[in-house]
Amino acid sequence: MSTSLILLAVLMFAVTYPSRALGLLAPALDRLPRGAIDYLQLVGPAVLTALAAVAVMVVTDESGASRFYIGVEWVAVLACLVVTAWRRNLLLGLIAAVAIVVVARATGLAALP
């Protein structure tokens, strides 16, 4: 694991935490329209979702060229969506997605991209 990933996690925390903790940080937040509050609280998750989507859909080869990728990760994302919608529990959806990728890679059905 690279130490740059730790720096990225700290940076993402610094960028997304204020929008998620908006109610604690702004004392007059209740005066904003409900739509504005909903929008501000969803900025952080939207950015993280965009980063995760690129991590699943795009791979870079040894020459540095990026290409569209379809693999077991797509199945895991769809399973996560289905389980989360069905059980109304994101943790169970994430566990299912991780389990699918781990089993597929451990059995040799899928290789690292």
Is a pLDDT exceeding 80 seen at residue 98?
yes
Q: Which helix (H) or strand (E) holds 59?
A: strand 58-60
Residue spans of alpha helices (H) in 21-112: 22-25, 34-57, 72-87, 90-106
Task: Compute the mean pLDDT over every residue in the chain, rounded to the nearest whole number.
Answer: 84
pLDDT value for 23: 67
50 — pLDDT class (breaks 50, 70, 90): confident
C-beta of residue 76 within 8 angstroms of C-beta of residue 82: no
Q: Where are the domains of the chain?
A: 1-69, 70-113
Query: Can you read off the two tokens belonging to residue 74?
Result: 């797509």
Nearest 5°: phi and psi at 60?
-115, 125
pLDDT value for 3: 76
